[in-house]
Amino acid sequence: MIKNIICTVCPRGCSISVKGENSIVESVENYGCKRGIEYAKAEFVCPVRILTTVVKVDGKDELIPVRSNKPIPKSKILECMEEIRKTTITLPVKMHQVIIENVCDTGVSIVATKEF
Binding site for another protein (CB under 8 A): 6-8, 10-14, 32, 49-56, 61-63, 65-67, 74, 77-78, 81, 85, 88, 95, 113-115
Choice between 25 and 63, CB closer to another protein: 63
Give the nearer residue to another protein in terms of CB position, either 101 or 115: 115
What is the closest distance, in whole angstroms, from the C-beta atom of residue 62 to another protein in the complex? 7
Nearer to another protein, 19 or 94 (CB): 94
Residues 6+ apart with CB under 8 A from 55: 63, 64, 66, 84, 87, 88, 89, 99, 110, 112
CA dist., res. 30 & res. 17, Å (int) = 6
Query: In the chain, which residue ranges form alpha helices assigned H by DSSP?
Result: 34-45, 77-86
